[in-house]
Amino acid sequence: MSDTLTNQKAYRAINFAEKLALFDDQWQARVVAEMNDYQFKVVRIEGDFVWHQHADTDETFIVLDGQLRIDMRDGFVTLSAGEMFVVPKGTEHKPFAEREVKLLLVEPRGVRNTGEETSERTAVNDLWI
Amino acid sequence: MSDTLTNQKAYRAINFAEKLALFDDQWQARVVAEMNDYQFKVVRIEGDFVWHQHADTDETFIVLDGQLRIDMRDGFVTLSAGEMFVVPKGTEHKPFAEREVKLLLVEPRGVRNTGEETSERTAVNDLWI
């Protein structure tokens, strides 16, 4: 894409809603951008995830649409659109959504969604959209 | 905050709009969360920033409200609410907003907002809200 008069490129922004509209399966996050060695991923989830932890990294949840609950062993947090929460590394947690929620996740490249666990929820890594 | 029956803590989500409502000055980003050695910051900007670059890190812009244009030497990108863009490290860029825009920035702890440059736009670092 270029403007022939000025030879300026029109770069494209990453639109979360547009990216989410490209798929409708749940639990499989898609990478939409990278910053250094971190990835931004969009995902649809509904129902219960598995208890897990990430020993080496914090994990960031940003709600784009809907409502998310994250249970931890000593408490919980509820997140709506326009809200975020960082689960500290080594903290066992279990995301839950009564109805489908659309999330933006931020975490280092290569992190497995179910942490040390393997389950039916374990997703393909590094899947771009 | 605890529920005496279950002794469960109610953790608090970080609400971007609530954080932004706590200040009205422009150009001074406030840290709202950390993930590993990265920070999430909210900021209000309006008008022209200075041309600058970050030699050692990419920089992430997420628009929460309003519209942002980021000029680069070979082109530009326009971002609306619900959109993000990652400026690659070493890329000169200049954010611009015709009307006030509210942003979420993600970058490593300690990055100076004006990169190698010092200007009237250079802001205090590591200011939490």
Digit-coded pLDDT (tens) for B19-48: 999 999 999 999 999 999 999 999 999 999
Digit-coded pLDDT (tens) for B85-112: 999 999 999 999 999 999 999 999 988 8
| Chain B contact present for A118, CB below 8 A | no
Q: Which of B8, B13, B82 shows the shortest C-beta gap to A16?
A: B82
pLDDT at B6: 66
B85 contacts on A by Cβ (under 8 Å):
11, 13-14
| Angstrom distances, CA of residue A13 to CA of B14, B42, B62, B64, B82 | 24, 19, 10, 13, 10
| Chain B contact present for A4, CB below 8 A | no
Mean pLDDT of chain A: 92
- Can you give the length of chain A in residues? 129
pLDDT: which is higher, A3 or A44: A44
In the predicted structure, residue A4 carries a pLDDT above the cut 60: no
A106 contacts on B by Cβ (under 8 Å):
35, 38, 106
B64 contacts on A by Cβ (under 8 Å):
82
**% of chain A beyond a pLDDT of 90:** 78
Residue A6: pLDDT band by 50, 70, 90 thresholds? low
Asked whether the beta carbons of residue A11 and residue B72 sit closer than 8 angstroms, the reply is yes
Q: Tell me the domains of chain A and their CATH numbers.
A: 16-108 (2.60.120.10)
0.90 exceeded by pTM: yes
B60 and B84 Cβ atoms separated by less than 8 Å: yes
In the predicted structure, residue A73 carries a pLDDT above the cut 80: yes
- ipTM value of the model? 0.92
pLDDT: which is higher, B83 or A8: B83
Digit-coded pLDDT (tens) for A25-34: 999 999 999 9
> Which three-class secondary structure state does DSSP give residue A60?
strand
